[in-house]
Chain A
Amino acid sequence: MEKPLYKDIGFHLCVIAGLVVMFGAPRYFDIFEVYTYISYVVLAIYALSLAYIWGFGGILSFGQSAFFGLGGYTFAVASINMGTTGFPFLLAFAIPALFGAAVGYFMFYGRLSDVYMGVVTLVVALILFKLINHTAGPEYSIGSARLGGFNGIPSIPTLALPGVYGGVELLDPGQMFTVYMGILLIVYVGLRLLLASDFGRVSVSVRENEMRSSLLGYDVRRHKVIVFALGAGIAGMAGAMWATYQTFIDPNAFSLERSAQALIWVMAGGVGTLIGPILGAVGLQWLSITLGEMQLINNLVLLGVILIFLVLILPKGIVPSIRMWSLDLFTVMRRQREGLDPRTGEAPPPASSSQPAE
């Protein structure tokens, strides 16, 4: 666990591969393909937001789309009102993060169990979805931006970040792809650095044993609120990128389908890793677009079947199998290095821990 990040070959390979794609793809593929691939990049960032809080904070959010949608709408409203896109982009991180902190406060300080937490996050997304769907009338305007209800908000400005391509709008899909890919790399590297820091280690220790962590003097609940809020902020940023990429956003950004997508990608890619969910998002999104073009099967049917398949087919159950993978940080790799059986280790099973309970 003390292995420094700069010695991790896999990490370097991922970054190099990312850089190659970042600058190579716009040259190699035609413009329409590149335009499609931008959506993969956005959704990969969205997948990372859940991969982080679930895999490394042990917090399972069933309503990640709440933050995705909130980020998208924040960006849309702010950029239409302000005429710029740089500051609204920051807002699209900050407002979902604050909202996430508020929801997290109720959940973690209330010590809700896993199942309750899943249901509460799901309902939060659901209610935002319904609320925003009912804002069709002209009275629902924020400044000069009409929320538009189920019709959504059109004419969202394209992203123009100061200092990137001279701050002009990214109208060329190639440029847009490169910038978006750059953001994905920043998020990925940032999360890896965070996980290697003390804060990240505490996250993992909290996931592994909350009581022990608080006995070491860590404020477990506050820590979880911060992790959850950070994940919400990243999801919000992905939502903003989605809005500015499509120049349009509608309430489907909040839909349960969006939340389920994130879960499915993370599960498919492996909880407890960051690169897995990125690949999961890209792979499954490609699959659903391809099958969608062939009009063979309803996209929801596909998602549903994949989700049921993932849960039922992994023999030891998702969470334990995943734990095997996520413990690789600590356990499996070390055991393999020492030539022990990676599943059981070598030592005898612990003696009976029965003790008189008062």
Chain B
Amino acid sequence: MADYHVIETQGLTMRFGGVTAVDHVDFALKDGELRCLLGPNGAGKSTFFKCLTGQLTPTEGTVTFKGHRIEGHQTHEIVNLGIGIKTQVPNLYDGLTAYENVRLAARRKHIKNKAGEQAERMLERCGVHDLAKREVGLLSHGQRQLIELAMVLAAEPELVLLDEPAAGMTGEERDRLARLVKEIASHASVIVVEHDMQFIRQIAKQVTVFHRGQVFAEASVDEIMRDPKVQEIYLGKAADVAA
């Protein structure tokens, strides 16, 4: 079981005109693993992420999820295979309440009566139950992130992809998110794209560092932190690290 790769990319490449944003990336995630993708702005991690979620069709290479080739598939197909996606910019129905948003997501997995219960459970699980009746368009960025996470979890995905989930969060919200991500990782495989080092230190064991579109290093979080070359990449990007 441990060696089973839930998602795997081979030679994944994405070019925009003359720019190669992702350059022949081979990546594999073991079943049940929690992995952080790390790298300064422009390193290609978000582009890589979008190739996994179907928001971009890679120029070359393959993405395999549980034996299915999914590169170039549409987002909804990928979601229906059992991947939960949280995009970088929160995507919510702003006119609906938090409960209604999550309930809509729960309907995909559960029949009518169960969907409501599922929605309640997910709001509870993400610690935003007190916001259930609030309209999400009026909430803070961090609160919206947590509600979107509840939507992702409501469909009970096997693989969860999170793009910068901690952005815009208060310290307390971030701690809650860290606990939550660890808890999710006990049921599902998780990939987190993040450049907030503090947050990564809280959640991750294994880290993949992107630099200039390629995998620069892949090791445990402590090794990565000590690696002088990684430090170097981040120098001059100090603001991001501190964020």
Contacts and interface: CB of A to CB of B under 8 A. Distances in A.
Contact of B141 (A198, A212, A353, A357): A353
B141 A218 contact: no
A217 B152 CA distance: 11
A208 to B, nearest CB: 5
A9 interface: no
Q: Is the interface of A mostly helix, strand, loop or mixed?
A: loop
Contact of B100 (A1, A353, A354): A1
A219 B74 contact: yes
A347 B74 contact: no
A347 B135 contact: yes
A112 interface: no
Contacts of B85: 215
A330 interface: yes
B58 to A, nearest CB: 17
A345 B94 CA distance: 12
A141 to B, nearest CB: 44
Looking at A215, A218, A352, the one whose CB has the most chain B CB atoms below 10 A away is A215
A215 B79 contact: yes
B138 interface: yes
B104 A205 contact: yes
B95 A198 contact: no
B46 interface: yes
A331 B41 contact: no
Contact of A355 (B45, B79, B107, B141): B141
Looking at A211, A217, A331, A352, the one whose CB has the most chain B CB atoms below 10 A away is A217
Nearest to A346: B138
Contact of B79 (A217, A330, A331): A217
A358 B195 CA distance: 10
A8 to B, nearest CB: 18
A20 to B, nearest CB: 35
Nearest to B103: A2
B134 interface: yes
Interface residues of A, number: 34
A198 B107 CA distance: 9
Contacts of A137: none
A214 B79 contact: yes
Interface in B154-202: 155, 164, 167-168, 195
Interface string A186-207: 0000000000001001000100
A296 interface: no
A66 interface: no
A357 B88 contact: yes
A118 to B, nearest CB: 24
A350 B75 contact: no
Contacts of A355: 88, 141, 164, 167-168
A350 B140 contact: yes
Contact of A351 (B41, B90, B95, B141): B141
Interface string A324-357: 0001001100100000000001011111111111
Given A215-B75, A215-B85, A356 B167 contact: yes
B231 interface: no
Nearest to B144: A350
Contacts of B47: 358
Nearest to B79: A217
Interface in B92-144: 92-97, 100, 104-105, 107-108, 134-135, 137-142, 144
A350 B96 contact: no
B79 A350 contact: no
B41 A358 contact: yes
A209 B104 contact: no
B140 A214 contact: no
B220 interface: no
A221 B76 CA distance: 10
A345 B135 contact: yes
A224 B100 CA distance: 22
B76 A219 contact: yes
6 tightest A-B CB contacts, nearest first = A217-B79, A351-B140, A212-B91, A347-B138, A358-B46, A355-B167
Given A221-B74, A347-B135, A348-B138, 12 more contacts: A209-B92, A212-B93, A215-B76, A216-B79, A216-B105, A216-B108, A217-B108, A350-B144, A351-B140, A355-B164, A355-B168, A356-B195
Interface of A: 1-2, 198, 201, 205, 208-209, 211-212, 214-221, 327, 330-331, 334, 345, 347-358
20 contacts: A205-B93, A208-B96, A211-B91, A214-B79, A215-B76, A215-B151, A217-B108, A218-B76, A219-B74, A219-B76, A347-B134, A347-B139, A350-B141, A351-B142, A355-B164, A356-B195, A356-B243, A357-B88, A358-B42, A358-B46
